[in-house]
Chain A
Amino acid sequence: MGMVKILNGSEAAATGARLCRVQVVAAYPITPQSKIPETLAKYVETGQMQAEFIRVESEHSALTVCISASTVGARAFTATAANGLAYMHEQLHWAAGARLPIVLALANRGLGAPWTIFNDMQDSISQRDTGWMQVYCRDNQEILDSIIMAYRIAEQIHVPMMVCFDGFVLSHTSMPVEIPEQSEVDRYLPPYEPHIPIHGSEPINVNPVMLAEPRANAQGELCPSYMGFRLRLQEALQDAGETILTAAEEFYQVFGRDYRHFVWEYRNDDAEIVLLTMGSLANEAALAVDILRDRGCRAAVVALRLFRPFPAEELRRALENAKHVVVFDKNVSYGLEGATCTETKAALFDGGLHPVVTNYIVGLGGKNVDVADLTEATLQAVQGKNRSDGPIWLGVAV
Chain B
Amino acid sequence: MATNVLQLPEEEYILPGTRSCSGCGLALAYRHILKALGQKTILTIPASCLTVLHGLYPSTSVKLSNINTAFATTAASASGIVAALKALGKTDFTVVGVAGDGGTYDIGIQALSAAAERNTDFIYICYDNEGYMNTGTQRSSATPMGAFTTTTPTTKLEHKKDMLAIMEAHGIPYIASASAAYPLDLYDKVKKAKTIRGTRFILVNVPCSPGWGFPTRDVVKLGKLAIDTAMCVLHEVEDGVFRLTGRSRAMARSSKKKPVADYLKMQGRFRHIDAEHIDLLQEWLDQRWTRYVARHQLCEGGAEASKAGE
Contact = CB atoms under 8 A, between A and B. Distances in A.
B9 interface: no
A4 to B, nearest CB: 31
A181 interface: no
A47 to B, nearest CB: 15
Interface stretch (A69-77, A300-308, A328-336): A69-77
A111 interface: no
A347 interface: no
B64 A61 contact: no
Contact of B118 (A51, A54, A204, A216): A54
B44 A68 contact: yes
B68 A68 contact: no
Interface string B41-65: 1101000000110111111101111
Of the four ranges (under 10, 10 to 19, 20 to 34, 35 or more), the interface on chain B belongs to 35 or more
B79 interface: yes
Interface string A212-242: 0001111000010100000000000000000
B83 A54 contact: yes
A64 interface: yes
Interface string B73-98: 10011111101111110001100000
A292 B44 CA distance: 59
B285 interface: no
A325 interface: no
A54 B79 contact: yes
Interface in A51-67: 51-52, 54-58, 60-61, 64-67
Contact of B60 (A52, A55, A208): A208
A23 B66 CA distance: 21
A393 interface: no
B65 A200 contact: yes
B65 A198 contact: yes
A61 B39 contact: no
A210 B83 contact: no
A72 B84 contact: yes
A61 B114 contact: yes
A61 B44 CA distance: 14
B110 interface: yes
Contact of A208 (B44, B56, B76, B113): B56
Given A66-B80, A217-B58, A206 B66 contact: yes
B113 A207 contact: no
B221 interface: no
Contacts of A215: 56-59
A90 B76 CA distance: 14
Contact of A68 (B51, B58, B77, B87): B77
B129 to A, nearest CB: 18
A65 B57 contact: no
A205 B58 CA distance: 9
A113 interface: no
Contact of A65 (B54, B58, B83, B93): B83
Contact of B67 (A207, A209, A210): A207
A390 B80 CA distance: 45
B69 interface: yes
A98 B262 CA distance: 48
Nearest to A23: B87
A90 B78 CA distance: 18
Nearest to A75: B87
A203 interface: yes
B167 to A, nearest CB: 16
Interface in A87-136: 90-91, 94
B92 to A, nearest CB: 8
A74 B57 contact: no
Contacts of B78: 68
Given A64-B70, A64-B77, A200-B65, A58 B87 contact: no
Contacts of B63: 203
B54 A61 contact: no
Nearest to B62: A205
B59 A218 contact: yes
Contact of A61 (B52, B76, B81): B76
A56 B114 contact: yes
B57 A68 contact: no
Contact of B52 (A74, A198, A209, A211): A209
B51 A52 contact: no
B58 A218 contact: yes
B172 interface: no
A26 to B, nearest CB: 7
B28 interface: no
Given A52-B84, A72-B85, A218-B58, 20 more contacts: A57-B110, A57-B117, A58-B114, A60-B73, A64-B80, A64-B111, A66-B80, A67-B77, A67-B80, A71-B80, A72-B67, A73-B84, A205-B54, A205-B55, A205-B68, A206-B68, A207-B68, A208-B56, A208-B68, A210-B57
- In the A-B complex, list the 10 residue pairs whose CB atoms are closest, starting with the nearest: A68-B80, A57-B114, A61-B76, A72-B84, A74-B84, A65-B80, A69-B84, A52-B83, A64-B76, A23-B87
9 contacts: A55-B118, A60-B73, A61-B79, A65-B76, A68-B67, A69-B87, A74-B87, A90-B70, A210-B57
Interface of A: 23-24, 26, 50-52, 54-58, 60-61, 64-74, 76, 90-91, 94, 198-201, 203-211, 215-218, 223, 225
